[in-house]
Amino acid sequence: EVQLVESGGALVQPGRSLRLSCSASGFTFGDYAMSWVRQAPGKGLEWVGFVRGKAYGGTSESAASVKGRFSISRDDSRSIAYLQMNSLKTDDTAVYYCCREWPHYSGSYDSWGQGTLVTVSS
Amino acid sequence: QSVLTQPPSVSAAPGQKVSISCSGTSSNIGNNYISWYQQLPGTAPKLLIYDNNKRPSGIPDRFSGSKSGTSATLAITGLQTGDEADYYCGMWHTSLRGVFGGGTKLTVL
């Protein structure tokens, strides 16, 4: 069974940094691109970014709204994807979901974690 | 404001059919595959449809997807109270990358 478990969400002050983790199990992690999607309170889904699988070099991309502040990486040996968030703003307050892209590089996400809440407030 | 436009809400009675639209342009929907997600209250989204009209294993055939021109549609037949949820369309755009519609709240009357 595919499982994705996010962790690291917290209350943090504006301008500070936070790193989220996504622990995966039940599939060959390195074969899949992994994405982060967020949802602000009462709002819709927003794609944050993704990291490609090892066959595609493990490179990452981020949405324009977070580019330069957020970065995504992965550790295939531990089956973990990371979302490093720097210079956090109040607008970054959201539930952050980790998800697996399937079919490969289709833009569809067939497995989602339960989400972790990030609150940016002074 | 997303490049994919969905109606904010739709409603229908149990047992009926409802359709949710996702509108775009020839440069986005017209050239890309559409996915659909269901988000029940307080839970993570769930993939219902991928590649415009394919269902993942375990998704009942009450849910179907279609695409024509610059619009995609999710249809749900035999509505159940358990179908009350938010529904999102999504796609991979070559330049914008991951894109979701604004979401549609389905109420089963």
The pLDDT value recorded for residue A104 is 81
pLDDT: is B93 or A122 the higher one? A122
Q: If you average pLDDT over every residue of chain B, what do you get?
A: 94
pLDDT for A107: 87
Cα nearest neighbour of A35 on chain B: B98
Residue B5, chain A, CB below 8 Å: the answer is no
**Token output for B101:** 């519609």
State pLDDT tens for residues A69-121. 999 999 999 999 999 999 999 999 999 999 999 988 788 999 999 999 999 99
Side chain identity at residue B37, one-letter code:
Y
CB contact under 8 A, B92 and A103: no
| The pLDDT of residue B27 | 76
**Interface subset of A 60-119, CB within 8 angstroms of B:** 61, 63, 97, 102-103, 105-110, 112-115
Which residue type occupies A122? S
Confidence of residue B94 (pLDDT cuts 50, 70, 90): confident
What are the tens digits of pLDDT across the range B67-84?
998 999 999 999 999 999
Nearest to A45 among B45, B91, B97 (CB): B45
- For every residue of chain B, DSSP letters joined together read --SSB--SEEEE-TT--EEEEEE--TTTGGGS-EEEEEE-TTS--EEEEBTTTB--TT--TTEEEEEETTEEEEEE-S--GGG-EEEEEEEEETTTEEEE---EEEEE-
At B95 the pLDDT is: 80
Strand A34-39 versus strand B9-12 pairing type? unpaired
* CB count in 10 Å sphere of residue B108: 18
Cross-chain CB nearest to A97 (options B44, B92, B102):
B44
